[in-house]
Structure 1
Amino acid sequence: MRRFAIANVCCFFAAELGDLQMTNLPDGMVFTELTAPMLDDLCADYPDHFSDEHRKLLASERIRGFAVFYDQSLASFLWLAIENVPGEINHDGHPATQMPLYLPDAVGYVFNVFVKPEYRGRRLYGAMIAQLANCLGSEGFTGLMLTTEGSNYRALSSVRRMGFRMVGRSMLFGIGGFTLAKYPGQPMLGGI
């Protein structure tokens, strides 16, 4: 069906680091920034979650990876982009939904967040964002931004609970060669 038609609603969320709800990691879990050797190990151990594309992301000076481990086993991960975000990073898996973002210097863009099914329900997403905010705050960052699909009600609820607020919405509808798109009409919070 997606070859002939597409319907996508993307919600933009932003938060100042100081406004985020600080959630602690569950006992025994460790938050860490990914290094190239760590990513090589993850690619070997978790080929369904990591690939050469992730190695390319980590090789960029504008993209960083973070993960949570429990007893040296991967529990969750997320990626962070700084400065201008190419559309290839901001999409829902369909090329037509790619949308570049232009961010202020002190704002990071969180993308490709994943919590393994056996660790869901522990508010690990919020704990990762809190750990990331602590890390970035010491580096001079002031805010975070993320996008999520308008139909992903769990993610929408989670990001609101964490302290993010919706700052815009885009919509894309297409059938065959006809496409209708609506994007935020003015710069969003912080000039995004």
Structure 2
Amino acid sequence: MKLPLFILRVTYTLARRLQIADATRLMYLKSADFRSPVLADGYSIRSPDEGELFELIQAGKAPAPIGSPRNISGQRRVVITTNRDNQVVSYLWIAIESVDANENFSRARHLGTSIDLPPRAGFLFNAWTHPDHRGQRLIGCMISHVFENRLSETDVLATTMDWTNERSCRAFSHVGMKPIGTIIRMGRGPLQLSLLPQTASQFGLQLANQVPGYKFAC
């Protein structure tokens, strides 16, 4: 007998707060399936280099949580920003080749999931939009910028989000991104269990190579 969905959600929320479980939805998008939204008037999109991002942060035109400019040149990362009135109001990062477990987690860093990517694939992470500018499809417009400008030769994108984050799932689904499985990570320290979707390998994604414990494809 299956548990009602709300009981599963309550149980998972408690386990996540205790940092003993992390369930994330894995999503995938081909450029050919992308549905590009229209950028609203008054916004502009760009991909700043390391020096430009440093200047934006120093001038107070980009929020400090946007991340270190050094990541751009040192770790094969690309940042895309949406700007309005000379302020960064939305941003996202794209990782090439791989993303580390400590960069890809829902609540518990020790339950993050590393992902090794195939050629021409990017991993979308650390996406944010200022509350005053939500609802403008800015994340989708930045993804369009990635594909149109062939940033890092990317023509497919993957991402993950917390299993309960329906708002983000709808936002990414709106531009054509599809769920291809759920990653479940449980435990602490070396005592960890990973349940990984078999479908990931069909898309060339290698999951959880960095994490300890037992791993099962399901």
Structures share fold, TM-score greater than 0.5: yes
Matching residue of 2:94 = 80
2:108 aligned residue (71, 87, 94):
94
Shift of 1:47: 4.9
Between Structure 1 and Structure 2, whose CA radius of gyration is higher?
Answer: 2
Residue 119, structure 1, aligned to residue 133, structure 2 = yes
Matching residue of 1:144 = 157
Residue 171, structure 1, aligned to residue 184, structure 2 = yes
Is 1:42–1:50's contact at 8 Å kept on the other side of the alignment?
A: no
Is 1:5–1:176's contact at 8 Å kept on the other side of the alignment?
A: no
Once the two structures are superposed, residues 109-153 of structure 1 have per-residue CA deviations (whole angstroms, 9 ceiling, x without a partner) of 11100001110111212222122221227x643211111111111
Question: 1: CA distance between counterparts of 2:201 and 2:171?
Answer: 21
Matches within 5 A, 1:150-169: 150-169=163-182
Is 2:22–2:107's contact at 8 Å kept on the other side of the alignment?
A: no
Overall identity of the aligned pairs, in %:
24
Once the two structures are superposed, residues 62-102 of structure 1 have per-residue CA deviations (whole angstroms, 9 ceiling, x without a partner) of 11111010121111000011112222221224222221111
Gaps of 5+ in 2: 1-13, 206-218
1:17 aligned residue (26, 31, 34):
31
Secondary structure at 1:75's aligned position in 2? Answer: strand
**Which residue identity lines up with residue 156 of structure 2 in the other structure?**
G
| Structure with more relative contact order (C-alpha pairs < 8 Å, separation 6 or more) | 1
Secondary structure at 2:171's aligned position in 1? Answer: helix
Residue 70, structure 1, aligned to residue 84, structure 2 = yes
Question: 2: CA distance between counterparts of 1:36 and 1:15?
Answer: 27
Secondary structure at 1:147's aligned position in 2? Answer: strand
Is 2:117–2:204's contact at 8 Å kept on the other side of the alignment?
A: yes
Question: 2: CA distance between counterparts of 1:140 and 1:176?
Answer: 37
Secondary structure at 2:106's aligned position in 1? Answer: coil
Compute the TM-score of the two structures, normalised by the length of structure 1: 0.86
Secondary structure at 2:150's aligned position in 1? Answer: helix
Question: 2: CA distance between counterparts of 1:43 and 1:140?
Answer: 27
- What's the Cα RMSD here? 2.5
Distance 1:40 1:97, change over 3 A: same
Once the two structures are superposed, residues 154-179 of structure 1 have per-residue CA deviations (whole angstroms, 9 ceiling, x without a partner) of 00111111101111211124489965
Matching residue of 1:129 = 143
Is 2:19–2:108's contact at 8 Å kept on the other side of the alignment?
A: no
